[in-house]
Structures are given as C-alpha cells and as structure tokens.
Structure 1
Amino acid sequence: MSNTPVQAILTSRDGHVATIELNRPPHNFFDVEMIAQIADELDRLEADKRCRVVLLQASGSAFCAGADFSKRNDIREDRSASRINPIYQEALRIFSFGKPIVAAIEGSVVGGGLGLALAADFRVSCAEARFSANFNRLGFHPGFALSYTLPALIGKQMAAWMLYTGARVDGERAKEMGLVDFIALKPDVRIAGMALAREIATSSPRAVQSTKQTLKADSLSHIRNAISRESAEQSIQFAATDLAEGVKAMAERRAPAFED
C-alpha cells in the first residue's frame, strides 16, 4: 500500500482556462496548507499569460465543508486579538487574484468553504448543492471575509439570516438569493462552468482584467478590514466554551446547548 500523500489540489489547463480542483474527498476540509497551495497556484497563473480564466472545482461529495477542526492549531495557535488568522492571511492572496475565477459547485458548501466560493467571480451550481454559513451555530464569529462578501452579494438582511441561523440553502434558493449565478443539472455543472470560463476567455484578457480591477477596486480594502475584525473576534471566542460545544454537537448531529 502506497504512503504517498494525497495532493490537496490538482491543476490542469485547457487552452486559456486553468483548472484548480480541491482534492480531499469526500468533504474537502481545508487547512492553512491547502489554502496556501491554492494561493500559490493562483500566483503562478497570474504570471502565466496563457491563462485568462480559472475554473475552481472539487472532487468528492462536497465542494468544501470548511476548516478541518481536527487541526486545531491552524485555528487556535497564537491567536492574539491583533494577529490575523493564518488561514485568512492566505485567503487574502486568493481575493487579490487579478483574473476571473468561475466556481463549479456540485455539492455542499459550508462555513469557510462558502468564503472560498465567494472569492470566485461567478458560481455555477445545481439544485442538489447546499450552502451554509454555520459559524454562529458552531459558536464563533464568521470568517474568510464572509462578514463582508456575503451581505455584499445577497444583501444584509438575508446575510444576517444565513449567519445567525446557519441555515442550509439549496441551489435553487441560492440562485434566487443571488448567491449562485447559474444553475445546471448536476452532471453538467462542470461542463457549464467550463463553458462560462471559455466564454470569458474569448474576450480581451487585458480588458477583462482591467474591468475586474475597476469593479473590485473597493472590495479588497473592505475584505482586509473584515478579516482583521473577524480574526480579533474569533481569537476571543475560540478561547471560550461555545466552540467546543458547537463542534461536539455537529459531530453528534444534534442541536448545540450553549450557555446563557
């Protein structure tokens, strides 16, 4: 039996479209190394003139079910209020990518996985997909810039509902809310995502990239501010008892019993 570690991401290129595939099935839980690998690959593709668009997809039953809570040091180590969560430091590099990203979402998108999905410019999904910002249900403040990106995309009221409750939203409802841009049949999600990526790649790459820069001009500063506040809030809440109860309740598939 081979002991070769499974690659966290797989990469390929088809013409002007590069594909990054999350490769920790079935749930694609991330840690700081995985997010850093995605950011490193995007840095490489930023310099690759042949790449005009990136397609982000995932193997397994989930697109991304969020952070790997078995690696608690990624989340809690040296977490002073003034230090940004190292996962979110790497996430900032993803948000800074200057070329369009299309996310093809076939399965569940949970917690920080939703934050990763919202780093894309477009989301193509299916009715069977499920979207949840379950941070509060786990006992802590949302992260991965979702306190900015989610209300910016679907409005403050619906974002508050998703964040406060951790409710699961299916693909059709996500499309109605503006969380998803296009819906396809589940077997066709990757095909539809690639078709959109190729359509974008047909346009002038210089014009597309400069347009993205204009459209996103104010976003990065808001994202940095959101991540700074999120990290400060989480540093306090990770030291409390709510997180332990929230994670335990999730593992036991029951409602959490938080203290008053």
Structure 2
Amino acid sequence: MSVSLAVNGPVGWITFDRPKAMNALSVEMLQNMTSQLEAWRTDPAIRVVAMTGNGPAFCAGADLKQAGAPVGPGELDFLDNIIVFFNLLRSYPKPVIAAVNGLALAGGLETVLCCDIVIAGQSAKFGDAHSNFGVFPGGGGAAILPRKIPANVAKYLLFTGDALPAEEMKTYGLVNEVVADGELIARVQAFGEKLAQKSPVVLIRMKRVANAAADKTAGDALRDEELELRSHQRSYDIKEGLAAFAEKRKPQFKGY
C-alpha cells in the first residue's frame, strides 16, 4: 500500500509510503488519503491528523509518470485527484500537523502549505521544484506560497527550483519548529496530544475564521469572528470550560 495509516491515541497518522519513489504522489495515494481524511472527519476519537513520510523524503511531489496518463469517460484524472485532495486537506476542520522528514518538494511542499502546523526534522529541506521539469504548480505553489512566506523568497523557490533547509524556512515563517530527526515523530505526537486536550469545537471555529481572514478586510474578519463567538456561546464546551475554570478543575470537553 502506498500510504500507511495508524491511530495513536487521539492522533491519526498518515504516512507517505513509497520510499523508493521518494514518496511521489500517485493516484492511489491521493485516493487513499482522501478517503481516510473523510472517514476521520466525523470520527470523534480522532482529534488531530499528522502527516509524514517513510524514508529519505517527506514527499518529492507528483509522480510525473502518472501526471498525463489518459483516463476513461467520467473518471477523475491525475489533476482532478490532486485538486480533490488538496482542497479537502486545506479546508479540513481538525488540526493537521506536517511532520516533515527529508525533502518536501513540489506537491510535497504544497501538502505542507495545506497543514496548520509544520514541525520539521533538522535534515528537512523545502522547495517548489516545478520549474526544474517545466511543470506548473496546481496545489498552491504559486498561489499560496507567497502568502505564507515573503514574496521574494517564494519567487526564489518557484523560479530556481532549489530547496532551502528547515532552519532557514523557520526564519521565513513556514516552519514552526525544527527538531532532531530522531525526535520528530515523538514531538509531533506530543504536540497532537496537547491539541487534543482543547475543545474540538473551538479549534474548528478558530481554524475556519483564521483561514477565512486572509481574504477579508480587518473589519469583515472581526465581524466574522464576532458572529462565530455568538454561535459558540451556545456550545456545551464553553459552558464546561467556564465551569471548570470556576471550580479549578480540568475541563472535559465534548466537542459540541
């Protein structure tokens, strides 16, 4: 199987598992990950999703051998599958952590761009790489990367096809933490468990408002937040959180 799936407590793990192909994205991988994300979306036991790669790469991008393959009438082609996967990952209601080991290039970098938190091993490198093969990005490389890091750095990665180390990408704001390679999985698991202790419904609402804010004026974003707060005031979790604070105990959130 091209993707390995595991559940460790409240964290659902998706591992790119084509190490001999540098975990290049295939149609099978994209469909498997999309199906699993859809299943976990409504599973209350899964509070956080983490993504990583098996072998020397996180993900080296799309499998270019499949990119132009013909499909039958009514079937999704490679680009269709890419778009479905990235759109789902980008709008996913639960927190998604990228545990970046090794190379994250092209579609691998675009996967990282869809994640909420990025924790990287010291040996990790990030690059667009599409220009190296005359390929145009389709998962946010040109559209989203300049919103995540300074525009001139994004253009450097886009134009040159070069990759930059994790520590440097941390200075540009793409990476949250850099840890020793051997500590990456344990650190991401611990971080996921920390997030899992929060109210699921408040994280969902925070993520939605934060994601939408970039396309709004400050005033519209604040109004959106105020409306979300009004809805949240009717939730069980806010009542439980306030009661726990008053009673000096740990809250027991239920996610609604």
Fold similarity call, TM over 0.5: yes
Q: Does 1:170 pair with 2:165?
A: yes
Distance 1:72 1:137 in 2: 15
Give the counterpart of 1:33 among 9, 28, 32.
28
Partner of 1:245 in structure 2?
A: none
Partner of 1:119 in structure 2?
A: 114
CA contact (8 A) 1:9 1:38 kept: yes
Q: Does 1:12 pair with 2:6?
A: yes
| Greater alpha carbon shift after TM alignment, 138-147 vs 17-26 | 138-147
Q: Does 1:58 pair with 2:67?
A: no
Q: Give the secondary structure class of the aligned counterpart of 1:199.
A: helix
Q: Does 1:214 pair with 2:209?
A: yes
Task: Give the count of matched residue pairs.
Answer: 210
Superposition pairs for residues 224-243 of structure 1, below 5 Å?
none
Distance 1:25 1:85 in 2: 22
Distance 1:85 1:186 in 2: 32
Q: Give the secondary structure class of the aligned counterpart of 2:135.
A: coil
The unaligned stretches of length 5 or more in structure 2 are 217-256
CA 208–132 in structure 1, closer or farther in 2 if over 3 Å, else same: same
CA contact (8 A) 2:66 2:78 kept: no
Give the counterpart of 1:69 among 43, 64, 69.
64
Q: Give the secondary structure class of the aligned counterpart of 1:207.
A: helix
CA contact (8 A) 1:56 1:101 kept: yes
CA 24–32 in structure 1, closer or farther in 2 if over 3 Å, else same: same
CA contact (8 A) 2:10 2:46 kept: yes
Q: Over aligned residues, Cα RMSD in angstroms?
A: 2.2
Q: Give the secondary structure class of the aligned counterpart of 1:131.
A: strand
| Greater alpha carbon shift after TM alignment, 179-188 vs 32-41 | 32-41
Distance 1:53 1:46 in 2: 10
Q: Give the secondary structure class of the aligned counterpart of 1:94.
A: helix
CA contact (8 A) 1:29 1:68 kept: yes
Instruction: Give the number of the structure whose alpha-carbon radius of gyration is greater.
Output: 2
Partner of 1:145 in structure 2?
A: 140
**1:9-30, CA deviations, whole angstroms, 9 ceiling, x for partnerless residues?**
1112122111111111141011
Partner of 2:175 in structure 1?
A: 180
Partner of 1:238 in structure 2?
A: none
* Structure 1 position 217, deviation (Å): 2.1
CA contact (8 A) 2:27 2:78 kept: no
Partner of 1:4 in structure 2?
A: none
CA 162–174 in structure 1, closer or farther in 2 if over 3 Å, else same: same
* Structure 1 position 73, deviation (Å): 2.9
CA 107–164 in structure 1, closer or farther in 2 if over 3 Å, else same: same
The TM-score normalised by the length of structure 2 is 0.76
CA 84–155 in structure 1, closer or farther in 2 if over 3 Å, else same: farther
CA 92–56 in structure 1, closer or farther in 2 if over 3 Å, else same: same
Partner of 2:154 in structure 1?
A: 159
Give the counterpart of 1:93 among 79, 84, 88.
88
CA 77–136 in structure 1, closer or farther in 2 if over 3 Å, else same: farther
* Structure 1 position 77, deviation (Å): 6.6
Distance 2:92 2:38 in 1: 7
The TM-score normalised by the length of structure 1 is 0.75
Identity %, equivalent residues: 27
Q: Give the secondary structure class of the aligned counterpart of 1:70.
A: helix
